[in-house]
């Protein structure tokens, strides 16, 4: 499973071809392929397999707390190397937030706005680990509830790949708006907003993944045939995709259903978020500030990607990841799509960021229109 887009794999290529000369002799020449081929075939079988593989992660945690068993993971988000937040639901879809601390001297948190704000010791003393799973038994403070937490060791590390972006529908007579938000915003504001490692954007920054695809698919199914325009509004900071394989299919769903996309004045898109923005048949930017140079608002961002210690352009352009991305952007931006993808590879390193300028947007046909209101 892939994490942020910069952790994906791909890159640049040299191929060896035999070329006949005008004489009876032949020689080998090196031909450098300057662009990846936009020839990947996205299929229903592939997305079905991807979903089936990822859905196994949604049942990898059991939490028994206050007389209720929560066993279905709805969203997940990484806070740091040792901290993760998950939203768990019971059989009636009642949910709570659980922050899991994986450090030796760990304290975990159970939170439900206006109902629960409990902490419990989840460190080594209360933890039993087998090859397959980890079991924690503890007591919460301040209300002294028994807590039993079990998670599968081989799945917990990858759980944040399902994403943390909530989609909410606003229905109008002539249009259906789909708004993004950070599903753990309340938790962050309650417990993490004063942390020196958390920025203002972090308080409202979510990720994309399996859950984004599932929510959008349900919305399309619920509203298919109503005839209204569907507008996907990025109304918070989308930090990127945790699973690019799934994310490209989310983008294809946006395009196949003729949706429009919009970055609102409250939001921004970066990395895999920008990938989804390109999927709109029209792509609108509502500026956060009254500026002429759109890069100053930092609302549409791109960068390259890397896998392990290799950068994207250290992979041959024949690599499957390059071909997938090239095909995706060719579908979204037409004959400028592959060039746009190559531009992202040169825009900033995987660990960096670049905010699209007016000239760059015009060159690749990225933003259909922008305004400040």
Whether 149 and 196 map to the same domain: the answer is no
Q: Which helix (H) or strand (E) holds 358?
A: helix 358-364
pLDDT (mean) for 328-351: 98
12 vs 33: CA distance, rounded Å: 8
Take residue 192 and report the two structure tokens written for it: 């993490």
Say whether both 134 and 210 belong to one domain.
no
Examine the domain organization and report whether 151 and 256 are in the same domain.
no
pLDDT value of residue 5 = 40
Question: Half-sphere exposure of 31 toward its Cβ, with a 13 Å CA cutoff?
Answer: 10
Q: What is the domain extent for residue 118?
A: 58-156
Domain boundary (102, 136, 156) is at 156
Give the phi and the psi of residue 102 in degrees, each rounded to 5: -95, 5
pLDDT digits (tens, 9 = 90+) for 299-335: 999 999 999 889 999 999 999 999 999 999 999 999 9
Question: Could you report the per-residue pLDDT of 38-47, keeping only the tens digit for each?
Answer: 999 999 999 9
> CB 13: neighbour CB atoms within 10 A?
17
CA-CA distance, 138 to 157, in Å (whole number)?
22
Q: Do 174 and 68 have their domain in common? A: no
pLDDT value, residue 26: 44
The stretch 338-356 carries a mean pLDDT of 97
This prediction's pTM:
0.90
Residue 368 gets the label, from left (phi > 0), alpha (psi -120 to 50) or beta, of alpha
In a domain, 177, yes or no: yes
> Could you tell me if residue 3 is inside a domain?
no
170 with 136, same domain: the answer is no
Tokens linked to 197:
């490692």
The domain tally of the chain equals 2
pLDDT, averaged across the chain = 91
Q: How far apart are CA 59 and CA 255, in angstroms?
A: 31
Question: In this structure, are 169 and 266 located in the same domain?
Answer: yes
CA–CA separation, 70 and 85 (whole Å): 14
Query: Any idea what the CATH number is for the domain that residue 304 is in?
Result: 3.90.226.10
Can you give the pLDDT at residue 13? 27
Banded model confidence at residue 12, pLDDT cuts 50, 70, 90: very low
Residue 242 belongs to a domain: yes
Residue 63 has pLDDT above 90, yes or no: yes
Give yes or no: residues 239 and 364 share one domain. yes
Contact indicator for 145, 139 with CB cutoff of 8 Å: yes
Are 191 and 302 within one domain? yes
Backbone angles phi, psi at 351, to 5 degrees: -85, 0
Q: Residue 314, Cβ neighbours under 10 Å: how many? A: 14
From CA 370, how far away is CA 373, in angstroms rounded? Answer: 10
Return d(Cα 172, Cα 169) in angstroms, integer: 10
Question: Residue 46: phi, psi to the nearest 5?
Answer: -65, -45
pLDDT in the model for residue 8: 33
Q: Output the pLDDT for position 33.
A: 61
Residues 105 and 74 placed together within one structural domain of the fold: yes
192: DSSP letter: I
Q: Which two tokens stand for residue 332?
A: 């979204």
Mean pLDDT of 143-160: 96
Q: Is there a single domain that holds both residue 151 and residue 177?
A: no
Residue 23, domain member (yes or no): no
Average pLDDT over residues 6-31: 36
Q: Is residue 51 part of a domain?
A: no
pLDDT at 196: 80
Q: What is the pLDDT of residues 121-147, one digit of tens each?
A: 999 999 999 999 999 999 999 999 999
Residue 253 falls inside a structural domain? yes
Contacts of 219 (CB under 8 A, 6+ apart): 167, 169, 176, 178
Highest mean pLDDT among 8-22, 34-48, 187-201: 34-48
Does residue 172 sit in the same domain as residue 247?
yes
121 and 266 together in one domain: no
44 occurs within a structural domain:
no
Is the alpha carbon torsion for 154, 156, 157, 162 positive or negative? positive
pLDDT at residue 224, as a whole number: 79
Q: Which of 110, 132, 156 is the last residue of a domain?
A: 156
Residue 292 burial (10 A CB sphere; 0-12, 13-18, 19+): exposed
In a domain, 124, yes or no: yes
Which of 156, 181, 198 represents a domain boundary (last residue)? 156
């Amino acid at each position: 499973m892939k994490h942020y887009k910069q952790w994906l794999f791909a890159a640049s290529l040299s191929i060896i071809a035999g070329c006949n000369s005008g004489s009876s002799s032949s020689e080998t020449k090196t031909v450098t392929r300057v662009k990846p081929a936009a020839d990947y075939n996205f299929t229903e079988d592939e997305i079905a397999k991807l979903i089936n593989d990822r859905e196994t992660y949604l049942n990898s945690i059991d939490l028994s707390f206050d007389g209720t068993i929560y066993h279905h993971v709805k969203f997940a988000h990484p806070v740091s190397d040792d901290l993760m937040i998950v939203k768990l639901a019971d059989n009636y879809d009642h949910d709570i937030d659980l922050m899991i601390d994986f450090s030796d001297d760990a304290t975990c948190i159970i939170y439900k706005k206006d109902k629960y704000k409990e902490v419990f010791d989840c460190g080594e003393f209360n933890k039993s680990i087998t090859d397959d799973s980890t079991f924690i038994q503890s007591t919460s403070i301040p209300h002294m509830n028994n807590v039993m937490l079990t998670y599968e060791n081989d799945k917990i590390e990858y759980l944040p790949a399902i994403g943390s972006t909530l989609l909410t529908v606003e229905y109008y007579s002539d249009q259906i708006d789909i708004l993004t938000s950070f599903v753990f915003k309340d938790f962050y504001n309650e417990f993490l907003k004063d942390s020196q490692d958390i920025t203002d954007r972090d308080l409202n920054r979510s990720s994309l993944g399996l859950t984004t695809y599932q929510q959008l698919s349900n919305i399309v199914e619920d509203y298919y045939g109503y005839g209204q325009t569907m507008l996907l509004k990025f109304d918070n900071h989308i930090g990127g995709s945790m699973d690019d394989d799934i994310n490209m299919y989310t983008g294809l769903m946006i395009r196949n259903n003729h949706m429009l996309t919009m970055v609102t004045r409250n939001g921004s898109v970066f990395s895999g978020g920008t990938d989804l923005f390109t999927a709109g048949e029209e792509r609108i930017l509502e500026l956060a500030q009254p500026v002429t140079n759109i890069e100053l608002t930092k609302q549409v961002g791109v960068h390259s990607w890397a896998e392990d210690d290799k950068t994207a352009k250290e992979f041959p352009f024949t690599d499957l990841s390059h071909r997938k991305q090239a095909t995706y952007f060719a579908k979204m931006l037409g004959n400028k799509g592959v060039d746009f993808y190559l531009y992202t590879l040169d825009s900033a390193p995987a660990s960096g960021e670049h905010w699209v300028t007016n000239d760059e947007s015009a060159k690749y046909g990225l933003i259909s229109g922008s305004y400040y209101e």
